[in-house]
Chain A
Amino acid sequence: MKPDLKATPPEGDDELLDELIAGYFEADLSEQQMTALNGRLRTNALGRQRFVAVAMTVQACAAAERMTREKVIEDELATLSVMGLKVETAQPRQFETDPSLAALISLQPRRPAAGPASGKIPRKLGALRLPEWIRRAPLRSLAAAVLVAVSAAALLWRQFRAPAHSSVATLTRAVDATWGAQPPEIGAHLPAQTTLSLASGYAELTFATGATVVVEGPAEFTLGSAGTMSLLSGKLSAMVPPPAHGFTVTTPTASVTDLGTEFGVAVETDDRTRVEVFVGTVYALGVSNSNGDTRPTTPAQILSAGQAAVVSSTAVTLDAAGSSRQRFVRSLAEDATVDLADLLSGGDGVTERRGTGVDQTTGSLTSRFAGPRPAKPGYHRVSGRPVIDGCFVPDGRKGPMAIDSNDDRFRFPATSGLTDYDIWAGGALPILPTTRAHISPRLAKLDYSQPGHDLIFMHANAGVTFDLNAIRRLHPGMQIASFRFTGGDSFDVKGLRSQVDLFVIVNGVSRLEQRRLMNTEGPVVGDVPIYATDRFLTLAVTEAGGDGINGDWVVFGDPKLEMTVH
């Protein structure tokens, strides 16, 4: 590492500071670099947060690895037994890919069961290694040595609580941001009463309390005292960890206070604010503003995860459509992958949501996994999921057919025009395996419905189209490099064959086709490049071999968009 240490870099020069932090923890910084690290951390609140997060990350990785190596020995169990602690067995999950990674991440201590200790100790603790000090500790008669007086600890506690600097928030990231007058620099410590105008792009603010806010331009906002801000126009999302609970956003018509949550606020008009809750709860109430004095004008309404409301100065009105993570940018983090099953289920691609179906015959969303129904011709838009453009039943008998809202057309093979079940994003399939054993989420014995994996499950004939631009809007600063998946015919009845055609289409042009894919064959591993000008990504499955649609089940396993930094 050879950072330029002579120049005085801007505060919050994230990448260089990240390298210094990594170098520090790899124990090979020069004295000059140590000086630079000390100086930068001293003036950079986000850098200090990252320093702690990296230490935590590295030790968690190291702990995970230690757990794979250590064996539980009998006296550790005996020690636990004496202490009456109950520790459950941690069963390592079997990974069928990358064994070195499996060793790193699959083994970890399970949470001790809640409730009174039973004293029942399992014979094996799986991978949980107990610390050496447990065996060495004087368990029966403990000396009453006072090492830290209670009063001293109280002082220490207050010292921890004291603010480290006078700013209330730091501008920690910005993507494509253009500002009004006096644009702040990344890393700028912003004092209370700072008003900023974000003409376009995105800005991330990290409050001293720990709350993180992503503002989407055009927007104008003012920082209040610690843990408050006013959104005069525009929209924001807030992620509030426990120490920052109580974080409050006021708008011209609303006051929204976090009760431990993640939420979005959008000033839609001068007399209308939209509030959406993604995690936890908030309370929201209507307010009036006069000469800088904000007064409540409605009773407070508690909003829980999944709920949305429109708040005016006269009423808080629930919106039955609920909240959508796809209407707000929740993070400017550089996510390496975006998960299509999560997107289909209403997430932003990194929230691991599962369990939503799309009816390819109508475009309606469903939480069921409905069976046969008559196909309706045409392309069906999907409402309520901005990233899902639409869906359809592929049928080439009448020539090329529309497969996206731009009327891009594709000529599928001639099919029966029939279809079955919904397009499903899982997670688990909502079907009893005892009654429908042939409906299988497995390819090459790997079950993509299990935790750690995900899938889009489709029965011929079906197709679904994603709006890549809508996905890009959720991840500013990132570009989509490729679409990767493992796909195949998963029909699973011994002695019976089925075959399908599988398509990955971009802007109406095939980018991957696998014809006559048999359930007896191994899966296809797809790695489809995605370019900046690509707008629509379509996944489609059709019957093949002239044997109708029976048994034509297809798994798109671990369907991910690989992301890179702009």
Chain B
Amino acid sequence: MEQDELVRLLVREHVKLSAYIWSFVRHDQVTEDILQEVSMQAVRSQATITGEAHLLAWLRRVARNQCLNSLRASSRRTAALDDDLLEVLEVDWQKYDRTSSYDVMDALKTCVEKLSPGNRRLISLRFGEDLRGQALAARLGRKLNAVHVALSRVYRALGDCIRRQLVEEQR
């Protein structure tokens, strides 16, 4: 694969690959570190990567190994999903292979705009101000359990909406 094509794809895959890594480690800095390391390995391995599909599978494979190594080296191993489940989940990640991160971001923008004002505020506090757990509950003046339920519903609504938007993208 040509170098600039590979880098273009890495930029395009940035958000998707971040999501994949983060789904394992759930830590922003660790995610960023692994993302950088995997991306650099891909650039070094440019000559052996034969095409886009190969690259996407390769990135996930390497990222997954890095994530599992990171978890084993930390105290968070007990919080990992089971290995056999991770295998099954690969099928679901693969379904996004023909979707670019740009598509995901476009869809997100559209879908956030469709949320109710209250849910937009929830998302804004969670990501704009990086509030989580009790801090988020305190800001909203709600119980932690209620905030979790609200977040789960917003995540589900956004996830479903993004999926629909990505189909629209094929228009």
Contacts and interface: CB of A to CB of B under 8 A. Distances in A.
B158 A57 contact: yes
Contact of B149 (A1, A62, A106, A159): A1
A305 to B, nearest CB: 7
A372 interface: no
Interface string B107-133: 011101111110111011111111011
Interface residues of B, number: 107
B132 to A, nearest CB: 6
B142 interface: no
18 contacts: A18-B153, A26-B151, A29-B79, A34-B78, A51-B23, A57-B155, A58-B19, A117-B4, A133-B43, A136-B36, A136-B40, A147-B48, A147-B62, A148-B62, A149-B48, A160-B57, A279-B167, A334-B157
Contacts of A350: 114, 164
Given A60-B108, A130-B11, A350-B114, A164 B40 contact: no
A164 B57 CA distance: 17
B36 A104 contact: no
Given A38-B81, A130-B11, A159-B90, A337 B96 contact: no
A74 interface: no
Nearest to A335: B114
A157 B151 contact: no
A117 B156 CA distance: 38
B145 interface: yes
B105 A63 contact: yes
Nearest to B149: A19
Contact of B162 (A51, A57, A131, A305): A57
Given A37-B81, A50-B156, A239-B164, A57 B98 contact: no
Contacts of A164: 88, 91
A38 B123 contact: no
A260 B170 contact: yes
B160 A333 contact: yes
A252 interface: no
A309 to B, nearest CB: 19
Which of A24, A148, A156, A352 has the most chain B CB atoms inside 10 A of its CB?
Answer: A148
A14 B92 CA distance: 17
B95 A210 contact: yes
Contacts of A280: 170-171
B89 interface: yes
A110 B37 CA distance: 25
A239 B167 contact: yes
B44 A143 contact: yes
Q: Which 7 A-B pairs have the closest CB atoms?
A: A53-B159, A22-B152, A59-B19, A55-B23, A133-B39, A133-B36, A18-B152
A362 to B, nearest CB: 31
Given A85-B8, A336-B114, A337-B114, A242 B36 contact: no
Given A105-B109, A335-B114, A337-B114, A21 B19 contact: no
Interface in B4-54: 4, 7-8, 10-12, 14-16, 18-20, 22-23, 26-28, 32, 35-37, 39-41, 43-48, 50, 53-54
Contacts of B43: 133, 137-139, 142
Contacts of B114: 335-337, 350
Interface in A105-154: 105-106, 108-112, 117, 130-134, 136-139, 142-150, 153
A562 B167 CA distance: 24
Interface of B: 3-4, 7-8, 10-12, 14-16, 18-20, 22-23, 26-28, 32, 35-37, 39-41, 43-48, 50, 53-54, 57-58, 61-62, 78-79, 81-82, 84-85, 87-102, 104-106, 108-110, 112-117, 119-121, 123-130, 132-133, 144-145, 148-149, 151-153, 155-164, 166-168, 170-171
Contacts of B78: 31, 34
A331 interface: yes
Given A22-B151, A133-B39, A336-B115, A100 B161 contact: no
A213 interface: no
A22 B155 contact: yes
A159 B53 CA distance: 14
A193 interface: no
A337 B19 contact: no
A241 B23 contact: no
B145 A1 contact: yes
A438 interface: no
A396 B108 CA distance: 47
Which of B3, B62, B78, B121 has the most chain A CB atoms inside 10 A of its CB?
Answer: B3
Given A64-B105, A131-B14, 16 more contacts: A19-B152, A22-B151, A41-B89, A52-B93, A53-B160, A53-B163, A55-B19, A59-B19, A60-B19, A60-B108, A105-B109, A105-B112, A137-B7, A146-B48, A147-B41, A350-B164
B81 to A, nearest CB: 6
A243 B166 CA distance: 12
Contacts of B15: 56, 59-60, 63
A84 B163 CA distance: 33
A153 B167 CA distance: 28
A57 B159 contact: yes
B113 to A, nearest CB: 6
A133 B40 contact: yes
Interface string A312-354: 0000000000000000000101111100000000000011100
